[in-house]
Amino acid sequence: MRLSIGLLLCVGITVLAFVLTHSVPGDPVAANLGDRAQNDPAAVAAFKEKNGLNDSLPSQYFTYLGNLLHGDMGTSQQTHRAVWDDLGDKIPASLELALFAIVLALVIGVGLGIVAAVTRNGWPDRVIRVVSLAGVSMPVFWLAQVAFYLFSFKLGWIQAGGRLSPGAIPPDEITGLYTLDSLLVGDTGTFGEAFSRMILPACVLAAFNIGVLTRFTRAAVLEALGNDYVRAARAKGLPESTVIRRHVLRPALTSILTVAGLTFGGMLAGTVLVENVLSWPGLGQYAYKSALNLDLPSIMGVCLFVAVVYVVINLLVDLLYGVIDPRIRLS
Amino acid sequence: MQGNQAIGDNSGSTTAGRSAGSRSARRRAVRRAAAPVAVTVAAAMMLAACGGAKKNTDDKGGGGGGTLVVDTSFSLKTADPGRTFEPTGIMVTRPVYDTLLTFANGDVTKPVPLLASSYEASPDAKTFTFPLRSEAKFSDGTPVTAKDVVFSFNRVKNLKGNPAFLLDGVTATAKDEHTVVLTTAAADPALPFRIATPALGVVNSKTVAAHGGSDAAGADQGDKAEQFLNGDSQGSGPYKITKYDVSTEVILTRNENYWGAKPKYAKVVVRNVPANTQQLNVLSGESQISLDMSPDQAVKVKGQAQVLQQPTPTTAFLFTNDNPAISPTTSNKDFQEAVRYGLDYKSLLDVAGAGSAQAAGIVPSFFTGALDPGKAIQRDVPRAKAALAKAGLNNPSVDLYYASDVTINGINFGDLAARVQANLKEVGINVNLKPAPTQTALDSYRNGSEAMGLWWWQADYPDASDYLAFTPGELVSLRAGWKAEANPEVSGLAQKAKTATSDAERVTAYKQLQESMNKTGPFMPLLQPAQVIAANNSVKNLRYNPIWYIDVDKLG
């Protein structure tokens, strides 16, 4: 049932993305052909023919959908490759960045949230609330620039720009995630470099989500701390770490999980800015360039991928609710 | 983009007793839980600190091999020379695909032999003969022959892509294995200049055909070689393309089979990097060259890096639509004069920054046939006001259209438009700014519906004939409503310039043409923006080329 709803949602998203991308004022011919070629009817006709722009919009959409069902997402007008291949090249870089960022956000955000809750109204709580507020308030493109200037250029602590230094040989492709692939083949040198170059963009990407998760965790933990069963657990003489882990964190986890799921999806969208400012060669850069060139098949491909990620994550979160809290009955 | 969400910050409503003891116990628990996290982070940081990926070259740069890193904001669609016409594409294909002729040392006034050992033009400028160098060979060791040249040229024509116009009316034939003859339907003295364009680089016909390439009619739909050429170049230049990614980076590796002088750098990495980051990268040594800094940024790096700063072959111009149906006001010749003399060209240069130059005419300053700087229009407010009065217009209002999201060599066209608005306000013309995203603005510009437009033209090839597009009835003029029959005098001068064959005749004809256009045309050439190239001091022989920025194979 949930899978069916998810599939229907994806089809709906294709319609929405298709209508929106075709509603943008602008002409793919103008975006892709130069001044001279645009004045040549033969060149314009050749471009339209090659990219299927002569058909009506509904016809173009159903052709697209038919091709999609056969695993064909069309051909990018900017790279002249199958969009599927382009996404296959770009997704691992963004996925690696987003995964690292979400781990950072979860560890730091949840950790700070717990600390803030258990030290409620104390100075750690006040400091953490200010920090989390700063995290959610700073525009990501500004933070990326400032972080790059400070940590990479001024202090020289972290190298940034690209997944590896120019001219470096990437590890043999297994998953496409450089850190994981280099570990799998035992190449610690490449792992170290890939990891170090990921720190800055991942921290920038995580900053907003750390703020969000901190505030949600704090609220959820405080709510749980006020429950009678927590008082009963303490009265039984359980160690405080056990009380927090078993009786406070577990019920708080459902709301934390909801936010974490949403933030992971949001991170994939957030990569557009971070990747462009910090030259990270992933889906964000690809999406930005596709938008600039009105490359409709690529834009559709990126939209569809992000939508599928959202649907899948929401599904996973729904399933995990039942694992975490047995009181929740899945229909 | 991450939007602002409603963020819960429940302060909690617990009524639980909170003794100092229980609070300290909770804090101890938190500290214990944090310990493994801290250890994990520390271990990862240690690994990162001692990290270093394998390189296939010594990475110190300089003369003994190494890697040259060039940062630029990509304008790139393809690495197939038959299709490429974007600035970054031209830069990366130039050292990969040799052309028959080229421009040496940044001098674009004189094409010099490259694959051709020399060339000869017939007196009527209709037949051009190119004997090929016998030693020239492709990266796979195959000799370059006349057949390859003919295949490459026919392919460009039949692909019907952006560079196809370069060979309009040109027929390529192989006289023998090592001689190419180009014939043109009409006198075409500018052909040698167009031949030096990287889009007309010669490909290995046998290999390209084997991978789906076609030079036959219908190649626009039938040629399938682009993807192959994006991954595996087939040229005879000093470099080969070993990695091509349209949104991130292009890697060139030295062609060990190169027939000429070997380039100093074993590898060239061209990366897509925003201008702000480029500045920091050059200063920190992360990259050696930046191509897109603004004049303001150039000031900050001077002294710490070498900086080249000079006008580009791009002309920013204003036009007032000559078509009364679009605007009775802007088509009025006296109104056009009022605009021409009401503009404060020097104040526009302030917007463009150091290194930019006023455009005396539509042809850029370093092309053959450019107007002398002394002939540039100077602001004359009384003359502008008199012209406006003569036109019978009292405080007219006109709409000025421009692309608001574009920055050309550090110039934001919104700033330039605002300055134009302020200039013309002083002579009694009210300009309403009509910004639009580039793709939207291009539509109204190209369909000729803008009353006034602020645009730019980047040279397709370094010859004044490229600017015949601004003469009545031609490509750009039609966008400004300047029809073929609009000005017989200018049309006559354009025809004279087009058919002049000797260098001296051409220079004279193009200068006369531009002077006439500056008197009666609807175009107001404004300025040539500054190109800023900053390079680490370790880079030697840095020279600017107006067409492809830098000769990476000549750097040391």
A201-252: pLDDT as tens digits: 999 998 888 888 898 888 888 888 888 888 888 888 888 888 888 888 877 8
Q: Which of A246, A199, A248 is nearest to A221 (CA)?
A: A248
Helix, strand, or coil (residue B121): strand
Give residues 206 to 245 of A whose Cβ lies within 8 Å of B: 208-209, 211-212, 215-216, 218-219, 222-223, 225-226, 230-231, 234, 239-241, 244
CA dist B302 and A305 (Å) reads 45
B216–A contact, CB cutoff 8 A: no
pLDDT at residue B327 above 80?
yes
Find which of B22, B247, B476 to mutate to test the A interface (most A CBs within 10 Å of its CB): B247
**Contact flag A25-B440 (C-beta cutoff 8 Å):** yes
Length of chain A: 331
Which of B2, B37, B221 faces A208 most closely, judged by CB atoms? B2
Minimal Cα–Cα distance from B430 to chain A, Å?
27
CA dist A65 and A70 (Å) reads 9
The whole-angstrom distance between residue B447's C-alpha and the CA centroid of its chain comes to 23
User: Which chain A residues are Cβ-neighbours of B246 within 8 angstroms?
Assistant: 78-79, 289
CA dist A124 and A130 (Å) reads 10
* Whether A279 contacts A165, CB under 8 Å: no
Least confident piece of the model among A306-315, B455-464, B508-517: A306-315
Helix, strand, or coil (residue A41): helix
Torsion of CA B206, B209, B215, B217, to 10 degrees: 150
Query: What is the average per-residue pLDDT within A146-173?
Result: 83
User: Which chain A residues are Cβ-neighbours of B284 within 8 angstroms?
Assistant: 152-153, 156
CA dist B155 and B128 (Å) reads 19
- Angle, CA of B456, B462 and B464, to the nearest 5°: 80
Q: Which DSSP state fits A106?
A: I
**Contact flag A49-B10 (C-beta cutoff 8 Å):** no
- Angle, CA of B470, B550 and B207, to the nearest 5°: 90
Minimal Cα–Cα distance from A285 to chain B, Å?
6
CA dist B272 and B292 (Å) reads 11
pLDDT at residue B57 above 80?
no
Q: Look up residue B182 and give its amino acid.
A: L
Nearest CA in chain B to A162: B248
Nearest CA in chain A to B15: A226
* Whether B172 contacts B149, CB under 8 Å: yes
CA dist B111 and B462 (Å) reads 10
pLDDT at residue B258 above 50?
yes
**Contact flag B248-A114 (C-beta cutoff 8 Å):** no
Element (H, E) at B249: strand B249-254
Tokens for B356?
């930019």
Give residues 35 to 74 of B whose Cβ lies within 8 Å of A: 37, 44, 47-57, 59, 67, 69, 74
Q: How many CA atoms lie within 13 A of A311 on its CB side?
A: 18
Q: What is the pLDDT of residues A70-122, one digit of tens each?
A: 888 888 887 878 899 999 989 999 999 999 998 998 899 888 988 888 888 88
Minimal Cα–Cα distance from A309 to chain B, Å?
16
Tokens for A220?
């959820």
Q: Which of B392, B391, B417 is nearest to B337 (CA)?
A: B391
**Contact flag B54-A230 (C-beta cutoff 8 Å):** no
Q: Which is more confidently placed, A127 or A247?
A: A127
Q: Which DSSP state fits B360?
A: S
- Which residue bears the tokens 């076609």? B214
pLDDT band for B19, please (50, 70, 90 cuts).
very low
CA dist B386 and B340 (Å) reads 12
pLDDT at residue B43 above 60?
no
pLDDT at residue B16 in the model: 37
A53–B contact, CB cutoff 8 A: no
pLDDT band for A307, please (50, 70, 90 cuts).
confident
CA dist A153 and A158 (Å) reads 8
A99–B contact, CB cutoff 8 A: no
pLDDT at residue B29 above 70?
no
**Contact flag B221-A49 (C-beta cutoff 8 Å):** yes
Nearest CA in chain B to A241: B29
Which of A50, A170, A222 faces B10 most closely, judged by CB atoms? A222
User: Which chain B residues are Cβ-neighbours of A234 within 8 angstroms?
Assistant: 22
Query: What is the average per-residue pLDDT within B479-508?
Result: 94
pLDDT at residue B41 above 90?
no
Query: What is the average per-residue pLDDT within B132-147?
Result: 96
- Which residue bears the tokens 């209002």? B397
Q: How many CB atoms lie within 10 A of CB B110?
A: 14
Find which of B78, B246, B449 to mutate to test the A interface (most A CBs within 10 Å of its CB): B246
pLDDT at residue A331 above 70?
no
Query: What is the average per-residue pLDDT within B131-157?
Result: 96
pLDDT at residue B508 in the model: 95
Q: Look up residue B68 and give its amino acid.
A: L
pLDDT at residue B42 in the model: 57
* Whether B471 contacts B517, CB under 8 Å: yes
How many Å from the N-terminal Cα to the C-terminal Cα in chain B? 42
pLDDT at residue B39 above 60?
no
Length of chain B: 556
* Whether A216 contacts A259, CB under 8 Å: yes
Q: State percent of chain A over pLDDT 70.
A: 98
Q: What is the pLDDT of residues A176-198, one digit of tens each?
A: 899 999 999 888 888 988 998 89
pLDDT at residue B201 in the model: 97
* Whether A43 contacts B164, CB under 8 Å: yes
User: Which chain A residues are Cβ-neighbours of B220 within 8 angstroms?
Assistant: 42-43, 46, 50
pLDDT at residue B45 above 60?
no
Q: Which is more confidently placed, B345 or B30?
A: B345
Give residues 162 to 181 of B whose Cβ lies within 8 Å of A: 162, 164-165
CA dist A78 and A184 (Å) reads 34
**Contact flag B162-A33 (C-beta cutoff 8 Å):** yes
Q: What is the pLDDT of residues B79-101, one digit of tens each?
A: 999 999 889 999 999 999 999 99
Q: State percent of chain A over pLDDT 90.
A: 9
pLDDT at residue B31 in the model: 56
Minimal Cα–Cα distance from A176 to chain B, Å?
16
CA dist B462 and B364 (Å) reads 9
How many Å from the N-terminal Cα to the C-terminal Cα in chain A? 9
pLDDT at residue B142 in the model: 95
pLDDT at residue B13 above 50?
no
Helix, strand, or coil (residue B58): coil
Q: Look up residue B8 and give its amino acid.
A: G
pLDDT at residue B62 above 60?
no
CA dist B82 and B84 (Å) reads 6
Q: Phi and psi (nearest 5°) for A130?
A: -65, -45
Q: State the pTM of this model.
A: 0.80
Find which of B1, B245, B277, B300 to mutate to test the A interface (most A CBs within 10 Å of its CB): B277
Q: How many CB atoms lie within 10 A of CB A12?
A: 11
